[in-house]
Amino acid sequence: MKLLNIKSLFVAVVATFAIVAAAQADHHGTKQDIVDVAASNPDFSTLVAAVKAADLVDALKGDGPLTVFAPTNAAFAKLPAGTVEDLLKPENKDKLVSILTYHVVAGKVMAADVVTVDSATSLQGQTIDVTVDGDKVMVNNANVVATDIAASNGVIHVIDTVLLPKS
């Protein structure tokens, strides 16, 4: 059950980013979950494909709340050649689930909250380090490039690097 909640958080964060971008004009609350938000933004197509391959869509569409640190397509492109393609293979599903759930934290953690902590425990089980230097926020080695993208089941923060759990 805990793994499903982690999966739901990750998908919710991705969906939230897409919803926030679409809803900025009307400034109303969103009715899209994390997966819907992510799926509506072409910058998250790799993330959405990975969430689908890992069978995490239903988990990230759950009630939450979840916080997702969502890597963009450009973040995935930084990985060594062939890495994404290998992760999407059915035989590597467990590794993909581990990586994706490492990007999700239980609860709705807004940017104002992130800057008050040194670390957070991911749904994958390992700790993510949080570093704040002025207005620059990093999670592990990734820069947070956009924050507080709201979704019905959580929040998405956009990062420029894929987080990789320790082996």
Question: Which pLDDT belongs to residue 100?
Answer: 96
In a domain, 167, yes or no: no
In a domain, 165, yes or no: no
In a domain, 164, yes or no: no
How far is residue 85's CA from residue 99's CA, in Å, rounded to a whole number? 14
Answer yes or no: is pLDDT of 133 > 50: yes
In a domain, 115, yes or no: yes
154 and 69 in contact (C-beta within 8 Å)?
Answer: no
Computed over its alpha carbons, how large is the radius of gyration of the chain? 14
The tens digit of pLDDT for each residue in 65-97 reads 999 999 999 999 999 999 999 999 999 999 999
**Structural domains of the chain, count:** 1
Confidence of residue 31 (pLDDT cuts 50, 70, 90): confident
Nearest to 1 by CA among 67, 87, 63, 89: 63
CATH number at residue 106: 2.30.180.10
Domain span including residue 104 = 2-159
Question: For residue 40, how many other CB atoms are within 10 A of its CB?
Answer: 17
In a domain, 83, yes or no: yes
The tens digit of pLDDT for each residue in 137-161 reads 999 999 999 999 999 999 999 999 9
Q: Which residues contact 80 (CB under 8 A, 6 or more apart)?
A: none
How far is residue 58's CA from residue 43's CA, in Å, rounded to a whole number? 21
> What is the identity of the amino acid at 84?
V
In a domain, 131, yes or no: yes
How far is residue 42's CA from residue 111's CA, in Å, rounded to a whole number? 23
In a domain, 85, yes or no: yes
In a domain, 119, yes or no: yes
2 exposed, middle or buried (CB, 10 Å; 0-12, 13-18, 19+)? exposed
Tokens of 159: 């990062």
